[in-house]
Amino acid sequence: MVKRIIFGLIWFAVLYICACFFAGAIAGAMAGSKDPANAAAAGARAGEQAVDALWVYFAVGAAVLAGVGSWAAVLPGTRGKRAPKPIA
């Protein structure tokens, strides 16, 4: 049981960080393509604003996915030990 909780917390962190990364990267790329002269600064600003606006949704979504995935034992690391195969 403790193993599932620990892996659920790890999966929450992984899902949350990935969601923030991809949202920031997409927003930054879109902003950078509109202003090629200042692409780095515009992309950084847009990425920060996108993540600041959406972090609550990412946190709740990651918590729900990690919680349900751990409870249902469908995420890697949350399954119990399998029975050994019989020797034929």
Contact 58, 19 (CB under 8 A): yes
pLDDT of 50-81, one tens digit each? 988 999 999 999 999 999 988 888 888 777 77
Domain count, the chain: 1
pLDDT of 10-31, one tens digit each? 999 999 999 999 999 998 888 8
Q: Is residue 84 domain-resident?
A: no
Q: Which two tokens stand for residue 59?
A: 């946190």
The burial class, CB within 10 Å (0-12 / 13-18 / 19+), for 81 is: exposed
Task: Provide CB contacts within 8 A for 76, sequence distance 6+.
Answer: 7
Residue 42's domain comprises 2-71
Q: Is residue 34 domain-resident?
A: yes
* Torsion angle (degrees, nearest 10) of CA 81, 83, 87, 88: -140
